[in-house]
Amino acid sequence: MQVFDLKGEVRNDLGKKATKAVRYAEKVPCVLYGGEANVHFAVLDKDLKKLLYTPNVYLVNLDLDGKSYGAVMRDIQFHPVTDKVLHIDFYQTSEDKPVVMDVPVRVTGHAAGVQAGGKLAIITRKLKVKALPKDMPDEVVVDVTSLGVGKAIKVQDIHVEGVELMNAKSVVVAQVKLTRAARAAQSAQ
C-alpha cells in the first residue's frame, strides 16, 4: 500500500469562529479519531490535492507538530457550491488492528465474450477490503479472460491473499452484456 506524508499543526481553539479563521487561512480543519484522545489539527489546502484527487488509496502518515501518526481517511465534507474541502476525518491505525478501506478494482485480460460480440461492463469500481495496514493491497486485480457473453464475475469469485472482502458475495464486479447489434444479428439467423 502506498503511503502519503501529510504535515499539519494541532489546533487548540475549537468552535465555529476558530474554524472559520482556519479556513480563511486556506487550511482545512481535520480530526484524528481512534487513538487515546481525538486530535484536532489543520493542514494546508494545497497539500491535500494529491491525496484527494486521485483514484489511488493511501495510508496517511500524519506529522502533527513533530508527532507521527499512521491513519486512513474516513470522511470528507465538501462545500455544496464551490466543492472546496471543508473538513476531513482521519482514523488512526495500528500494526495489529485490521482496517477497512475502499480499494479500486483493476480489470485485466481480454474477455472471450467481447470477441463474441458482447460488451464488457465494470459494475463495481471499488471494493470494501478489511486487512492489516501492512497487507492492504493498492488495488484488487480481476482477470476477465474467461468471461463469456451473459456471464459475470461476482465478489464470491474473487480471492485475494491475506484480505477479507466486505461486500456482499452476490455483488457483480464485471460482466459481459450482449449488445443490441449482436442481439439483432442473432435473431436474424
Read off the DSSP letter of residue 179: P
CA distance 62 to 183: 54
- On the question of pLDDT at 4 being above 80, the answer is yes
Q: For 25-41, what is each residue's pLDDT tens digit?
A: 888 898 888 878 888 99
pLDDT greater than 70 at residue 188 = no
- 134: its cell numbers: 501492512
Tens of pLDDT along 52-75? 888 788 888 888 888 888 888 888
185 pLDDT band, cuts 50/70/90, is low
pTM for the whole structure: 0.75
* Full set of structural domains in the chain with CATH: 2-93 (2.40.240.10), 100-188 (2.170.120.20)
Averaged pLDDT score across all residues of the chain: 85
Q: Which residue's C-alpha cell is 487548540? A: 12
Asked if residue 160 has pLDDT above 70, the reply is: yes
- Do residues 93 and 99 make contact, with C-beta atoms less than 8 angstroms apart? yes
Using CA atoms, how far apart are residues 164 and 154, in angstroms rounded to an integer? 14
Tell me, what's the pLDDT at 85?
A: 87
